Amino acid sequence: PAASEQQITVDNAHRIKARIIAEGANGPTTPEADQILMNNNVLVIPGILKPR
């Protein structure tokens, strides 16, 4: 997600089919969505860790 903050939420995180998400925005996921993604074995790479 590289649009704006909190685009992946508890309401839509369960629909993510990707195995890896590389963040490009500040805070594109909510804490609750992060937990859902982790439970679904989705690797979330924070924007600060990926090269720009």
Whether residue 1 has pLDDT greater than 70 = no
Tokens of 49: 């860790």
Burial label for 26, CB within 10 Å (0-12, 13-18, 19+), is exposed
Burial label for 29, CB within 10 Å (0-12, 13-18, 19+), is buried
Predicted TM-score (pTM) of this structure? 0.80
pLDDT for the residue 23: 86
Residue 38: φ, ψ to 5°:
-65, -45
Mean per-residue pLDDT for 31-38? 96
Q: Which residues contact 43 (CB under 8 A, 6 or more apart)?
A: 19, 20, 21
